[in-house]
Structure 1
């Protein structure tokens, strides 16, 4: 446990060697993602990770990062861009391709997540032991989640279940779409980059997001009514896939594969989770400083939401079993791993 924590913490150190002593790059890789270059994901995760890999390879690996879909395509295509070798690496939202990673959706059920660090480490171990078939076409660097999300409304406060009735709500994934439908909302699915325009034009009234995304997309200026959840679990989370093209990885000599491997897996998931947890606090402050309103779902009302959305999990179990999975076992494993890393 101690060594794992040290590995995760070591990622924040960044590049330890100056560029003056780095060798000329033997391998240059393209890393593609959908968020702006000022986003938390790039500034505090992807760029430090790339710098650390370059430093530990003594400059033999260089990674160019292309944010905001600069290499073309749409966010739901990022995983396939990596799989096909159009890019060498990508970071993307797993839920952008519904049905592709069914085992992972156990973590997207309502009221499953704890902090991003805990849930990310649990999910990465789950992926390593349960999702090999779903991820066989790429070299997985890590899976992770964001901090449990909140609701952000452009028109009114959301204080109770009934307040979502009839509202147009952007859902981040299928599990939350099922939950929002139970709450009689009109669900809309769209990638993160489309949300500012959708809110400003009234295409959606509410979006489900962590504050970590609210800040760089300036959602708090368009949706000034925020609803947070306070209980034993967060409202929901979304999972992300950080992957590498198999041929790009396999062409590396063993010593450089080790550099990639040393910066992958559960330790990387823990590091990314820490980054997302920490950023959430500052990002929320931007909404506070903007004079926005905050509501908290807690106590009896929190229990109402949990009880009302229980059918989402029940239907997930039924659907997964119908598709040939042992849904109860997968769900129990996800919960057990979250508990494991809660005490890690």
Structure 2
């Protein structure tokens, strides 16, 4: 059950707010998420987006950001919080609620997502209406995005080939990520990312599949020795996220306020979010190497061995979707084509 906080606690919990009084705005929204107020996801993405909406609205909108689950509950509860109207907006990981967004998983797959968050965000934007929208009943997505991709972080083992993964216990937030780990002969452990540092320090897990960007926020450099990725920043799949509003709240808004949100969440913003996550990923690996960690970049041959080992994950997803009456093979092809097209267009 979602913990109810007193008004005084809620007032002190809100982070990143302007000093303007809430009563000056006609429409006040609470945006709830699972990372800290200083995490780049808030400072580099959520705060600029919220300020853009407010500016677009001509002062009619105020978005209050509540980080670190300060409105109660645990990260996997975020999607139900927004669907039930407990909060107005959330930023959450789709994979925290397995099975709710299976079509969107297509861009998470290894060998579908490789190394380009800009192109992948644009592919999500282009696919949404025709291929993905029916999954988002009860919410109105503002935007979908991915991070820079799953890399391998290990406590004390250097990994160079799939065989090196055998027997390891590795954290992952999504079912597609779990399939990646299983295909490599390791054991997946699902948990929200805020739980990871303690699990690494106690050797509950031997490592994790996460991007570089989370390293500084959770001090992962203190719990691991190795950060491993493929040739040319190739990653082993990715994770999808959404910023979504309660559907009834959205439907109640006047057209000009809806437009303020839409204009701040357009196709160019999707590309910008990809650039933001690429930049903060580079910062994250810099923090790790400055702390003395080893950044391993696999050779082309080593990367190809991982890609070959992970191709069955794509087929496993296709087969799973076929069981749901969805043409997974066509979705994979659509995602690959759009990522390729948007890579060319993005100039990356």
TM-score (norm 1): 0.91
Identify the residue that residue 238 of structure 1 maps to in structure 2: 239
Distance apart, 1:70 and its partner CA: 0.4
What does residue 24 of structure 1 align with? 24
Alignment-derived partner of residue 123 in structure 2: 122
Q: Alpha-carbon deviation of 1:86?
A: 0.5
Whether 2:235 is the aligned partner of 1:225: answer no
CA RMSD of aligned residues (A): 1.8
Q: Is the 8 A contact 1:112 1:233 kept in 2?
A: no
Please give the alpha-carbon distance, in whole angstroms, between the structure 2 residues aligned to 1:72 and 1:224.
Answer: 34
Aligned counterparts, 1:1-344, within 5 A:
24-113=24-113, 114-231=115-232, 233-344=234-345
Q: Give, in angstroms, the shift of residue 172 of structure 1.
A: 2.9
Distance (Å, rounded) in 1 between the aligned partners of 2:180 and 2:23: 52
Task: Give the gaps of 5 or more residues in structure 2.
Answer: 1-17
Alignment gaps of 5+ in structure 1: 1-17
Q: What are the Cα deviations for residues 7-31 of structure 1, in whole angstroms up to 9, with x where unaligned?
A: xxxxxxxxxxx988x9920111000
Structure 1 contact 23–60 (Cα < 8 Å) conserved = no
SS in 2 for 1:163: helix
Give the Cα–Cα distance (whole angstroms) in 2 for the partners of residues 305 and 271 of structure 1: 30
- 2: CA distance, partners of 1:224 / 1:289: 12
Per-residue CA shift, 1:22-45, capped at 9, x if unaligned? 992011100000001010110011
Distance 1:160 1:190 in 2: 25
For these two proteins, the number of residue pairs brought into alignment is 326
Please report how far the alpha carbon of residue 339 of structure 1 lies from its aligned counterpart in structure 2 after TM superposition. 1.0
CA distance in 2, matches of 1:127, 1:250: 19
2:13 — aligned with what?
A: none
Range 32-41 or range 151-160, more displaced: 151-160
Q: CA deviation at 1:311?
A: 1.1
Q: d(CA) in 1 for partners of 2:47 and 2:230?
A: 31
Distance between the aligned counterparts of 2:284 and 2:234, measured in 1? 21
CA distance, structure 2, for counterparts of residue 256 and residue 171 of structure 1: 37
1:131 is paired with a residue of what secondary structure?
A: helix
- Asked whether the 8 Å contact 2:56–2:263 carries over to 1, the reply is no
Deviation digits for residues 298-318 of structure 1 (CA, Å, limit 9, x no counterpart): 221111111111111112111
2:9 aligned residue: none
1:268 Cα deviation from its structure 2 partner: 2.4
Q: Once the 2 structures are TM-superposed, how far is the Cα of residue 136 of structure 1 from its aligned partner?
A: 2.5
Residues 172 and 183 (structure 1), Cα distance of their counterparts in 2 relative to 1, 3 Å cut: same
Residue 134 of structure 1 aligns to a residue whose secondary structure is helix
Deviation at 1:266, TM superposition (A): 2.5
Counterpart of 1:100 in 2: which secondary structure?
coil
Work out whether residues 35 and 67 of structure 2, in 8 Å CA contact, stay in contact via their aligned partners in 1.
yes
- How far is the alpha carbon of 1:118 from its aligned partner? 1.2
| Structure 2 CA distance for aligned equivalents of residues 262 and 56 of structure 1 | 8
User: How high is the TM-score relative to the length of structure 2?
Assistant: 0.90
Q: Is the 8 A contact 2:112 2:332 kept in 1?
A: no
